[in-house]
Structure 1
Amino acid sequence: MADNKQDSIVFGDVPVKELEKKYRSELKNGNAETRLNALTNLGSLYCESKKYDEAESYLLKALTLALGRKNNSKLSLIYKTLGTIYLKQFKIDKAEENFSKALTLTPEKNRRVVSFLCDSLGDVFTKSSRTKEGLSYYEKALDIRKELELWKGISETLNKIGVNYYYQSDYDNAIKFVTESLHIREERKEKKEAVASCLNNLCLAYLHKGNYPEALENGIRALRLFEEAGNIESQGLIYNNLGLIYFEMSLFSEALECQFKALKIKEQNSNKAILANTLNNISMIFSRLFNLEKALEYAQKALLLRKEINDSRGISSSYNELGRIFDKMNDFEKAIEYFSESIKMKRELNIQSGLGQSLENLGMIYLKQKKYEESGKCLIEAKRIYEELGEQKAVTGIYRNISSLFIQVGKYEEALVYIKRSHDLSKSLNLKDKLRDSYKLLSEIYGKRNNFRKALAYYVMYSKTNEELLNFQKQQELGNISARYENDKKDKENEIYKLKNIELVRINKELKRSKSELQRSNSAKDKFFNIVAHDLKNPFSILYTTSELLSTYFDELTVKKQREYINTINLSTKHLLKLLENLLEWSRSQSGLRQFNPERFNFNEILASCVELSKPNADLKNISLEVYADPKIFIFADKNMIKTVIRNFLANAIKFTKNGGKISAAGEVKEGKFIFKVTDNGVGIRKKDLPKLFVIDRHFTTIGTANEKGTGIGLLLCREFIEKHKGKVFVESIYRKGSVFGFEIPV
């Protein structure tokens, strides 16, 4: 976010080369005063031409002469120009030193120069994350410029104050001041680049507020103005920002296209800070697409550039991004290393918002490692930072994560307190996505506390909110773009409006497709919930009736009858727990909250562990379990998901195999695919019932050979998990002879 200005290649009507020749002649033939002026003018000339090394060389020579002559006016000018050069090169300490010396040497009565130096020091402090000091200098510059009615300077400083508030995460004030600057620039018909600068800054502020249609409109308007002005470098900045918007809208192909356009432009100039930002953004997109090798490659390139220019704020950001990538790679040690470095730097730089994010990321790594004390320290500190900054959206997320921590340590009351806080805050802020997530955790907590009615009720609320959110977002996106298209259709021949039209058509098609999918999904899930409610009702009825009999007639019942009733309650409870476990696991998969974490592992090891867990149930029915798998088979998959599928297939086989039966589990690699099968000689399935398996809206469940009960949710879960691996499940069965349940996934 910056106030972009196009550098001139002439001074007035005089070409640079003629001036250069004139100043060099004066340097060679003039007296001491003339040589001082020539050196100063050459430094200024090269500074304007972006030849910063040459400019610095001439100005330092001029500085030596000026110090000897004690010419404060000339010294002030030299320090001011050196400060400008160092600021452009992101040498913040040197820029601060030179601007401060210039300000000290400049008389207060020279108000115009004082305002420029205050404005420049505002830039220095803002870029070095000392935003409060930066704001103070901007306000001094603004007061002087208003006093002198320097309207161009006023609009420039207002824009920069908006940038300062942006860095403080105060996006409302950022929009307020940048909009005021924009109105002045438009009314005064200032250069297109100046107007485009404001539009670019508004684009970023709206992006961070989550108002993507406004962000997109301002970004596209800025791009059009920079194109008209022929400002290639600034077009790169806009493509970068448009890429960020598309990224947040989950339009990843469009996001990558914009970022690579930005990269192509930025590789042609020497601004390494801006180039590093684009490389980092490309890394983020590849990370979201789970192309982690590419993500790592671009993140490391960004870090190297930021280290070259000593961009401390950027380096701390790169460390955080690398931590996220290694987290997804399940390389937790490296993730911890990078998050810790990011935290250390952000503490030193006092980047509070970024510090909260890195602490939260580190806390969640520790949570995965079951290092609950370390996790708690990080999450609680992140919570404190977010609350102090008033970042309420982040607060809702940290409350949810703290709740997850308490769930894992079995402190369900504390978990309930935090998730209810997240729920209430999400509701007051109308954050539908956060509200949806709170319903998800509430369902899980009540399930852990064996309050299945509330668990199911919250799950239903979660599912409905998720569907409403998807539908609302598509409707809002279409409505916003459609309205803007209608307002601007007079200019539809302009390229910018053609782009909008293309976007409108694309979103309209997507909306129609999504609406159809939602209708089918809602219908299927309504049937599914009816099925689940029906299957929950029977065991609940048994629990209620049996427990009431025990409570009322306990003393009159024989010990044998008491044990019979207690055993009935026990079996019904086990059935309910199994049903709820599968239901909650399926909900994680549907919501996208169940992370897909593929890794390379030995398949035989997890198969052995699953068979070991299933053996007690098989032994109860005297069923033999045989395993056939090459111990050297390695696959790339989500280990926990594959375990869940294997356990469900084995449990299903045990359920429908008679006493003394036989079950085999086998895995093999064939034609680039890994194929796993569980074969039994059980009761089999009628041909007409096979299509009812693995689908959400068909109720197909039967009693096992030992009266075991089920709902079919387990098989539904298996299909969801295998499809995440771009694979498929299959079943073969002959009625009364046995069945084969299996899956195949790419190796």
Structure 2
Amino acid sequence: MNYFEIAIQEKANSLKSEINFKKAQDFYLKKEWDSTLVYSMKQLNSNADIEIRQYCHYFRGYSLMMKGLYKQSRIEFSLINKSFQYYYLVDNNIGILFYFEKNFKKAIIYFLKAEKEILDHKDESEIADIYTSIGICYLHLNQYAKAESYLKKDALLNPKQVTKSVIRSNINIANFYYEQYKDQKAIYYFEKAYNLSKNIKDFKLKENTAYNLAVVEENRNNNKKALDYRKEAEDWKDSLNNQNKIWAVADFEKKFAVAQKQKQIKVLEVENRLKNTQRNGFFFAAIGLLLILTGGVYLYGQKVKNAKTILLQKNKLDELNATKDQLFSIVSHDLRSSVNALKTSNAKLSATLETKNYDELHHLIIQNSTIANGAYSLLDNLLHWAMLQTKQLYFHKESIHLYSIVQQIEYNYKPLLLDKAITFENSVSKNIFIFVDLDSLKIVLRNLLDNAIKFSNENGKISFYTQETNPDFCDLIIEDNGIGMSENTIKELLQEGELLAKKSNSEIIGTGLGLQLCKQMIKKNSGTLVIESEQNKGTKMILSFPKTKTNG
């Protein structure tokens, strides 16, 4: 925990009556940016004093920056007075915003403003970060002497301890030399970072160091070593994904255990009340007969009512069990198909390694990655679908800049688009703001773009654009020129309660679960979905969402 994080904790503890401020700083420390934005705005609306307002504007500026909303972030930072005790952090973050915009000269100006204050606090993690930021900016400006000076300052911090910061410093210096084609010096630092990473438990950093050496060995035409390092990087990536899943399951089990304890407490409370009633039974003997008669009538009515409730619950449970059985049957079939395809491909990979046919090796590695990504998407959709059915997904609607979200989704899918040479066009209006839950919107757009790529041909085209047919709603169209689908297929996909849909392309593994998940999430966001398609001519997915009320 750095100097500022300790300070805001102490500030929150001293302001026990300001509940919204305490929640805002708590969510800020947990890196839950949406919740930080909600409670910091609540605090600002409660007429807080000037100092608390400065903290809240900082929370909001930093959260918006982390969410990729740089323009709104700069606006929040501009509302902070220079008398603010931690204004050097504002300068540092404005420098980061200019860095993200590739305006490195301006970024350096703000980083240098922040450097003196950060050095005074003697927080080594903050000092390392500012040295790294300045060094990388000078590197982008080709001012190599200054870049080397700052990057080496960073590397000299904590030289006797193996920390994530030290490893990143070595990676930065390696990249610095690599940029200048000083390969021998670069390789020394790449290898040093790789060896140091063996002493830490950060899977992401281990993956990064292994990947760097894979690229180095490829450039040296040492393909066997490069393949070994790439395999190691993929193994660390898989370990990181598994760790995240384990944490998610552990969190779910913790919540379940708490719920079970609460049920036990309620049962004990009921039992205690019954014992008290029995203890006082003799005192109420005089009116007991009357109560028995009245209670009998009441219990009979409750029994009839409970019988109806149980019957309804039984019917609902039968329906859910049927859905579950169908889901497990098809998902297990598709997972088995994925694993079988992966086994077959790996067998070919082993055989090809012996023949040293590198073109075929490259093809098989891409094929393995595609199969693994397909299976991962299936499991990810299954998890979200299960959470949606059990009402565990948290929905928080807010004003969302649609163009920026589409831009983020395009960036995430760039490798898949390049793999099939698909042209992506983002023609979404930059003035559109919609009122939806951000996380569920991303899930919907990712699934629909994934399907569009999956069912598009090589050298195809996918377009995102908007049209406004209703003043209160915005229509987002996702159009591709792929294989399309028949009217019967569209009816099956849009049919209410139809969990799974068969796909006509037998080479593509899928269950239709992703589209069913999309339909439910669109509905929860007060939106609609329409599909227009023609076989061999492409498909249009037309999503309609409510606009933010302040939009004209």
* TM category, shorter: 0.3 to 0.5
Greater share of residues in helix: 1
Higher relative contact order (CA 8 A, sep 6+): 2
